[in-house]
Structure 1
Amino acid sequence: MASLPFPLLADQFAPRSEFGRTDHVVVDADPASTYKAVHDLDLTDLHGFLVTAAVRLRELPERWRQDRSPRQRTRLTIQDLDAGTDWVVLGENPGHEIVFGAIGKAWKPVVQWVPVEARDFMDFNEPGYAKVVCSISVLPYGQRRTLVTAEMRVVLTDPRAWLRFRRYWRISTPFVGVISRAILRTVKHSAETGGLR
Structure 2
Amino acid sequence: MAESPSPLLADRFAPRPEFGRTDHLLVDADPTTTWKSLRELDLTELRGGLAAFAVWFRDVPERWRARSEGGARERTRLTWNDLDAGTDWMILGENPGQEIALGAVGKFWRPVVKWVPCEPRDFPDFTEPGYGKVVWSFTAHPYGERRTLVSSEIRVTLTDPRAWLNFRRYWRISTPALSVISRAVLRTVKHKAETGGIRS
Q: Name the TM-score, length of structure 1 as normaliser.
A: 0.93
Matched residue, 1:114: 116
* Alignment match of 1:177 (pick from 176, 179, 188): 179
Q: Distance in 1 between matches of 2:59 and 2:74?
A: 11
* Alignment match of 1:93 (pick from 89, 92, 95): 95
| 1:133 Cα offset (Å) | 0.2
Q: What is the 5 A alignment of 1:151-190?
A: 151-190=153-192
Matched residue, 1:57: 57
| 1:137 Cα offset (Å) | 0.1
Q: Is residue 28–residue 146 contact of structure 2 (8 Å, CA) maintained in 1?
A: yes
Q: Distance in 2 between matches of 1:66 and 1:89?
A: 25
| 1:85 Cα offset (Å) | 0.5
| 1:120 Cα offset (Å) | 1.0
| 1:64 Cα offset (Å) | 3.4
Paired residue type of 2:159 = T
**Stretch moving more, 69-78 or 12-21:** 69-78
Deviations 1:70-114 (A, max 9, x none): 322111111222211010000000110000010000000000011
* Alignment match of 2:135 (pick from 128, 133, 136): 133
Q: In the comparison of the two structures, how many residue pairs are matched?
A: 196
Q: Distance in 2 between matches of 1:190 and 1:113?
A: 32
| SS class of match (1:83) | helix
Structure 2 unaligned regions, length at least 5: none
Structure 1 unaligned regions, length at least 5: none
| 1:3 Cα offset (Å) | 7.6
Matched residue, 1:150: 152
Deviations 1:43-73 (A, max 9, x none): 1111322112212221222233344563221
Q: Distance in 1 between matches of 2:29 and 2:3?
A: 22
Paired residue type of 1:60 = V
| SS class of match (2:86) | coil
| 1:143 Cα offset (Å) | 1.2
Deviations 1:99-152 (A, max 9, x none): 001000000000001111111111111000010001000111111100000000
Q: 1:3/1:87 Cα in 2 relative to 1: closer, same or farther (>3 Å)?
A: farther
Q: Distance in 1 between matches of 2:15 and 2:34?
A: 26
| 1:5 Cα offset (Å) | 5.0
Q: Is residue 19–residue 157 contact of structure 2 (8 Å, CA) maintained in 1?
A: yes
| 1:7 Cα offset (Å) | 2.0
Matched residue, 1:102: 104
**Stretch moving more, 20-29 or 3-12:** 3-12
Amino-acid identity (%): 68
- RMSD over equivalenced CA pairs, Å: 1.8
